[in-house]
Structure 1
């Protein structure tokens, strides 16, 4: 192999370690295998031709997990439910952002969450999770997992560690703890969960197989740029790549990063049930990764300006922005330890309850009234009547998802234009 061909997985120049934003431009892709193409082509194929019957046999042995790859051997391409060149390059690059051993990509963020649970839990075990949490995840917890014999116990994000302790005690009464899932910051209130504390709680816990249960963290709101859960004790990091990673509101995808020991069972499950990402969407996410950091930086700068404007407005009761956490508070201490920036998605309470919130939302012209987040455009929504409408009201009330709450995902527009739109819309409240 020539030095040029080896360079497609270069991570250093001498002793200088290349940063992820630099590696997004070429890592994992060998142009010599694609007619010298600068960018990975879209490999629209369902299956791949073997060089020989022996190669086919060996590829299946490795991909199926019947044996590990030998030194210098890579799992060959077989069938696009198992692997595909676009998918492999995307997984290589996604892992770099979290400095992870491995990454897996999925057809959606919910597919990633579901796969993490099903690959690591058994009927009769208990899943502990933070609240509030994305409405789709809450539906999974309350309506789907019980059918598979998995029990769930929630705890309030942004509360004291006593809430976590109580959840562990309650879960232990119901059965063996099989997993802990934390979404931090929480959707939509930005409540924070102390990842390191959860990891410490799990040290002496054993599941029904006698093993320590994994800690999974949904890192969609801040990751992978502004929060690194693996550094704080998480075992599995989960993403809706539809959001900041995809970043243009034009695809649906999910991902997971972490140690091979935790992700290998998830990859085997993906191959069995077929919830992988398609080649074209892989290609689109690869495009997005090249601008991920600069998009998140610009959106974060804009969000600070918007949050400060809203905090001072007489029609706004409260702004749930991480940059406004009170120094000395438990939440501020957690933020200082595990977050690198406040991000660009936050919520705020409009005076007048749902009626006031709806008048405000209906008057907006530049901000787009839509669910989702993390795109280049600014999106705003009313969680209680949309993304969290399937969550029982008593749980919404406990979590602070009130009828007055609006969630905004600030984009990369000119901030003064966004403020002008907010100003005219708030006059309707």
Structure 2
């Protein structure tokens, strides 16, 4: 038998990076609920700070010394190391929310006068930050949508008048809530046209909809991947967190700004996410199986106009080729247009018995929401409709319940419409 056997990520989630002998033999990592750490001596404290602030380089086998929980903490260090395994990233950073991760990345790589190219639709919070916050700093934001190719994107950048100031290409794929796909490799080619030694033009992908299991953007040409760890990573609707993963040179900048914005996740958050990672794969696989059955049921229902689910893409649809190239699964997010409009959508939502009427996604329980009036209500109505987010659209996050129970609930609620 070979001695160089390589464990898979789902196996390593149980113990990777944790040494029980340093914690009285505890089988699971304790919660290091502390604000600060004691130095062995003054020289050690000096060295830790010099490394933390970039005054000196860390040795090849040297671990970053523990200083203060806004900088580092054992729970967060172990968690970040485990997260890197799924995406084969060099480094990771955990935040107090997904939006904290997203906004920190944008603030680090975008400066006043820069150009941001971003895909639509986006999560409502990200869209708000781009249009209501970044705009205050003179950052021009240019949207594009699924189906636009390399030539079109380059033309948009060139016609902006700021092609020499392209700072980032930001993608959310699949898109929330329509499941529209953006070709990551194509966007990487666009970024390469405008990249300079002093301007990295990172491709940043929000991979929340696919989680760490079903899509790996870094392998497809992305430079950084961000998550709302609240969703599939947390998986139990009991923690708010975010994460960013990528290569060391870029992550050093992200981690540095995180320190000074103060949005590092806390020890309790880290411990909860470590717990959740142990069941990530079985949870997500069950959710995906359930979602496939729900989507098939909805597609055949007379009160459903259209279903937005990757597993139902026609092989002749241009999106199908992207799906097969980028995704390992159709995921567990299903959206659909109900026949009618807001009154019919609300009647359906108000008559659900098992599925909870709540925003968020990726938890063990199934959830339903109305994007146009809830998660995406801050987007201008005309723009919202152009993204496919109409009053008849309903978004479902499929959980781990027995699939036929979920379908029964959807069926009985549709009967009330």
Q: TM-score, normalised by structure 2?
A: 0.97
| In the alignment, structure 1 residue 113 sits paired with structure 2 residue 102 | yes
Q: Deviations over 1:349-396 (max 9, x none)?
A: 001111111111111110100000000000000000000000111211
* Corresponding position of 1:157: 146
SS of 2:353 mapped into structure 1: coil
* Corresponding position of 1:128: 117
CA drift of 1:118 comes to 1.1
* Corresponding position of 1:189: 178
For residues 210 and 340 of structure 1, the distance between their equivalents in structure 2, rounded to whole angstroms, comes to 35
For residues 228 and 159 of structure 2, the distance between their equivalents in structure 1, rounded to whole angstroms, comes to 29
For residues 351 and 297 of structure 1, the distance between their equivalents in structure 2, rounded to whole angstroms, comes to 30
* Corresponding position of 1:78: 67
Correspondence for 1:43 among 14, 22, 32? 32
* Corresponding position of 1:360: 348
Provide closer, same or farther for how the CA distance between residues 83 and 246 of structure 1 changes in structure 2, counting only shifts above 3 A.
same
* Corresponding position of 2:411: 423
CA drift of 1:163 comes to 4.8
Correspondence for 1:253 among 226, 229, 241? 241
Does the CA contact (< 8 Å) of 1:153 and 1:170 recur in 2? no
For residues 156 and 362 of structure 2, the distance between their equivalents in structure 1, rounded to whole angstroms, comes to 31
SS of 1:263 mapped into structure 2: helix
* Corresponding position of 2:193: 204
For residues 348 and 7 of structure 2, the distance between their equivalents in structure 1, rounded to whole angstroms, comes to 46
| In the alignment, structure 1 residue 285 sits paired with structure 2 residue 276 | no
| In the alignment, structure 1 residue 410 sits paired with structure 2 residue 389 | no
| In the alignment, structure 1 residue 296 sits paired with structure 2 residue 284 | yes
CA drift of 1:120 comes to 1.3
| In the alignment, structure 1 residue 400 sits paired with structure 2 residue 349 | no
CA drift of 1:286 comes to 0.3
Correspondence for 2:361 among 368, 373, 377? 373
Structure 2: gaps (5+ residues): none
For residues 129 and 180 of structure 2, the distance between their equivalents in structure 1, rounded to whole angstroms, comes to 20
- Number of residue pairs matched? 416
Does the CA contact (< 8 Å) of 1:216 and 1:235 recur in 2? yes
SS of 2:264 mapped into structure 1: coil
Q: Deviations over 1:79-114 (max 9, x none)?
A: 000000001000000111101100000010000001
Provide closer, same or farther for how the CA distance between residues 353 and 165 of structure 1 changes in structure 2, counting only shifts above 3 A.
farther
For residues 361 and 160 of structure 2, the distance between their equivalents in structure 1, rounded to whole angstroms, comes to 32
CA drift of 1:157 comes to 2.5
Does the CA contact (< 8 Å) of 1:176 and 1:206 recur in 2? no
Does the CA contact (< 8 Å) of 2:39 and 2:45 recur in 1? yes
SS of 1:203 mapped into structure 2: helix
For residues 376 and 171 of structure 1, the distance between their equivalents in structure 2, rounded to whole angstroms, comes to 44
Q: Deviations over 1:199-230 (max 9, x none)?
A: 011112036x7423110000000021000000
SS of 1:129 mapped into structure 2: strand
* Corresponding position of 2:14: 25
**Structure 1: which 4+ aligned runs deviate by more than 6 Å?**
none
**Equivalent runs, 1:227-238 vs 2, <5 Å:** 227-238=215-226
CA drift of 1:172 comes to 4.6
CA drift of 1:158 comes to 4.5
Q: TM-score, normalised by structure 1?
A: 0.95
Provide closer, same or farther for how the CA distance between residues 158 and 241 of structure 1 changes in structure 2, counting only shifts above 3 A.
farther
SS of 1:224 mapped into structure 2: helix
Structure 1: gaps (5+ residues): 1-12
For residues 137 and 163 of structure 1, the distance between their equivalents in structure 2, rounded to whole angstroms, comes to 23
